[in-house]
Amino acid sequence: MGTYIFKRLISIIPVFLLAALLTTGMIHLSPVDPAEAYLAAAHIQPTDEILEQKRQEFGLDQPFFNQYINSIMKICQLDFGISYVSNKQVWDEVISRIPVTIQLALGSILIAVLISIPLGFLAGVKKNSLIDHFSRILSFLGASIPSFWLGYLFIFFFSVKLDLFPVEGVGTWQHLVLPSVTLALPLIAIYTRLLRASVLENLQQPYVLFARTRGINERTIMAKHVLRIAISPMITGLGMNLGKLLTGTIIVEAVFSWPGFGRYFIEAIFNRDIPVIQCYVLIAAILFIVSNLIVDLIQMYIDPRISRKEGHQQ
């Protein structure tokens, strides 16, 4: 197990190097010169002299390979440079905004899990029943409604009309409800369907028949055997979405004025605040890798057959 985790952690390194390569290269692909972007953001009249000085400061006059090595060295020390707009360390700015974003992401995962597991499971077990139809409609809606529109609809009905929740901002748990549900709905749509399909497939497996012939209580079969195995694809899905969820908060954060990481990123894009954009891309890449790793580990706990194949050679 330990070696497995170690191996996986090692495999982060090449992905990190590639991501760093992309973010360094990004500057050269953009039509806007970072030195000019800096001066524009800082409201300084660009003269050739200042431009040259800034290019030197950013290391843009050096060969690409040197720039690449330099940026890797700096990133390893968590030095993402200084924001062109606020003149503060990018890392500090980002770190101060991450907790609220994580809060939002966790809230929506929690809602998604709490709703889609019972719903997907029941829809699979009681195929073509009322609850199955309901889950189908919910999934259909969740998959097809874009989240910004859903956000507005929620605000309009639950906040403006019914006055149950505040329109925007953070602070209390009431503030968390609408944005988390908005983020959770597309997830619920996917997971409910995934789980339902998986449950249906497992019901056809010989082990269910054996269990029944052994006279085991139907409820025990479903809860202890079918659900345990059927939930596996859903967890894979969840892991793939974990990274996406943190980056996917961008739109929801804008709609609900959530003061998080995603909103900060949008502003950085508009201001061409290149160090912030680079930092975001790197963090997103690392998030994807780490969340996939976590999911693999969870899967091993739940279905030991997987870990026997991979992890427990010794």
Q: Which is nearer to another protein, 109 or 221 (CB)?
A: 109
CB of 110 to another protein, least distance (A): 7
Residue with tokens 């999934």: 139
Residue 304 found at the interface with another protein (CB under 8 A)? yes
Instruction: Say if residues 151 and 255 touch (Cβ distance below 8 Å).
Output: yes
CA distance 166 to 168: 6
Give the residue, chosen from 10, 13, 130, 160, that forms a contact with another protein under the rule CB under 8 A: 160
Cα angle for residues 101, 102, 108 (degrees, 5° grid): 95
Instruction: Say if residues 283 and 94 touch (Cβ distance below 8 Å).
Output: yes
Nearest in space to 120 (alpha carbons), one of 47, 186, 197 = 197
Stretch that binds another protein, among 36-44, 63-71, 202-210, 280-288 (CB under 8 A): 36-44
CA distances from 160 to 178, 255, 276 (A): 12, 14, 35
Stretch that binds another protein, among 84-92, 200-208, 209-217, 230-238 (CB under 8 A): 84-92
Residue 52 found at the interface with another protein (CB under 8 A)? no
- Exposed, middle or buried by CB within 10 Å (0-12, 13-18, 19+), for 215? exposed
Residue 37 found at the interface with another protein (CB under 8 A)? yes
Give the residue, chosen from 131, 254, 281, 306, that forms a contact with another protein under the rule CB under 8 A: 254
Residue 36 found at the interface with another protein (CB under 8 A)? yes
Residue 102 found at the interface with another protein (CB under 8 A)? yes
Give the residue, chosen from 140, 207, 210, 301, that forms a contact with another protein under the rule CB under 8 A: 301
Residue with tokens 């969740």: 142
CA distance 278 to 296: 28
CB of 266 to another protein, least distance (A): 8
CA distance 153 to 79: 41
Give the residue, chosen from 187, 255, 282, 295, that forms a contact with another protein under the rule CB under 8 A: 255
Binding site for another protein (CB under 8 A): 1, 31-32, 36-37, 40-45, 50, 85-87, 96-97, 99-100, 102-103, 106-107, 109-110, 152, 155-156, 159-160, 163, 166-173, 176, 254-257, 259, 263-264, 266-267, 270-272, 298, 300-302, 304, 307
